[in-house]
Structure 1
Amino acid sequence: RAVPTLPKSGERLRGYSEDRNREDGRMSKLTVIGAGAWGTAFSLHLARLGHEVAIWCHEPKTAENIRRGENIDFLPAMPIPQAVRATLDLSECTHNAEAIFFAVPVQFLRSVLAKIDIADIPQTAIPVSLAKGIEQASMKTPCQIIDEALGAKVPAVALSGPSFAEEVAGGKPTVMVAGGRAESTRAVMEIVASDSLRVYSSDDRCGIEICSALKNVLALAAGMCEGLKLGDNSRAALIVRGLAELHRLVTALGGRPETAFGIAGLGDLVLTSTSGQSRNFQFGKLLAEGRPAPDIIAHYRWVAEGVFTAPVALELAKKHGVELPIAEAICAVIEGTATPASSAHALMTRPLKPEFPR
């Protein structure tokens, strides 16, 4: 009996069907919208698998840098092969695309979608959200925004999980979960899965997106703990009580309770609450060092989605009668009505109660 061998690093797996490619062997034609660190990293991953990849850039400078082989501003020191084609033309990159991956910050997603001519997108193209957060104006998730803007020809798939851009770009082992309709999630899994990126499926798109949004808020709190030098015990406390908030909000909004304990929930929460690579963690640490939120936003080019998600998550929670004390404390710090230290004290001195109320 032959011993199975793993594919070479970065090679795609064929475990979901004997071979999803057409009879002519051509790989998928894919589009990535957004050339920040995450969009660039995911484009690199897709290109390594042999797919045709077009990446849309908002700025001419970014497109030129990618054509020269390096996204200096957003993903430096990571060589970009010619297989990743940078463009400023949305029509060009969406035409004939089999899947479109949206790696745009949630607060800007709708404005980018408004520039896309729906007629350019094939009827069978699968929209995939790589974004994490909730739009402030509408309180909608990325997939809801995409469905609304594109007319839901094919409902969007949420692809999420503990996945730092630099590590995905470098081919480090990563797991993610694809949430949506069965046929779409299966197709996405077959497109992106490799020996370095394992993808699970779920029909709980709602739960995945809520987890992905709220964990960013909790990562801000983890950064504050680090900045205040509160120790490892506080980080563990934050993760476990933050998980309780994830569970409550996901359940209240119609998601599956178990999703909070999965890849997009606990998995991503642990990663972003324990690593300085997380932008939200970095932002929280800067808050703890005394930097006002508006100053941090103005000084850094990167976006910490948790800052924009926190007030929306709190509003949604209040609307559904859900208690989110950590998110509420974060909002107070961002708004300048409390300090990180006073918020930590307030959380620790809340009324005593059972861990699991009956």
Structure 2
Amino acid sequence: MTELTTKLARVRANMRTQGLGAIRFRGVDWFAWMTCGGSSTVILSAETGVAEVLVTDEGAWVLTDNIEAERLAREELPGGLPVEAHPWTDSRPREAFVKARTGVGPVGSDRPVAGEFPLPVDLTRARSSLGPEELERYRALGRDAAAAMTDVLLAARPEWTGFELAGAGAQALWARGIQPMLTLVGDARRLPVYRHPTASRDTLGDRAMLVFCGRRRGLCANLTRFVYFRQPSREERRLAADVARVEAAAFAASRPGATLGQVYAALVRAYADAGHPGAQALHHQGGSCGYLSRDVVALPDTGVALEPHNAVAWNPSLPGAKIEDTALVSPAGLELLTVDPRWPTVRVEGLERPDLLVR
């Protein structure tokens, strides 16, 4: 079976179980999943794009307007998903098309409107368990995103502003066909103050942090790196080592079947063991990911369980220190995706983790 036929079978099985006559996938995340990596995105920050996918027992179609139809069919969609276009000035033909194929049967959606039902939970779990083709796309994305990060921080200069570093990051991602959903920059002054520093006009100074969330073919790669234009102090090294140990505890707890709440609890214990009790309250700690930067952000009581071949990105932090990579959780163990062999590493609990880049 192809990736598309496998996914259509899953969707239809969930429709029958829930008594749904159709499902409409409107979000850019679900559109990408259903089209095997297609993109409905034009505005990068939009949650819904310029097209949706309609699935019934009898067929599946991409619904869009006449502006987008030809481009989507030629550049974004797999074979087996015909396009149904309507005038961009009038969406009523789209709704008439849907009604003609669903009748009065209940309709589900990832973003339900009046009268529609949320997606079945089993279908959400199925999306989290990435298939072979998705895994290969994710591995390629992880390598390219990490290489973009290395290129940028090898070229960075202390006199650059945060805007310039963020711009260089976005350019490096776009050059690899990766949409820059996020390019956070912490400069020397702001790093100890803010856990989530956005880019600013301040110069970088003697150290900087760069954070990426890059999206390609629907999948999201998250990673954080630090560059130093001087030797790190003993305290900076200590904090970097502490967040790496906290992350190691999260990775150790990240196994198929474990809940995100259980991983969060492991993080909390690790902060306390490292001498930073309560640090988890000052920044979110990450969670599961895949077709979103975070599908579910872990909280103390999050009961969502990790699936086989589920992606995660944990990001423990302390003042001026943070660590983050995207990894796959599988029965065989943990697989780090956002890895560039050029980046210096340090071994933490059996894993090679990113060290501070000292230039």
Q: What TM-score, normalized to structure 2?
A: 0.32
Q: What TM-score, normalized to structure 1?
A: 0.32
Give the structure with higher Rg (CA): 2
User: Which has the larger helix fraction?
Assistant: 1
User: Which has the larger strand fraction?
Assistant: 2
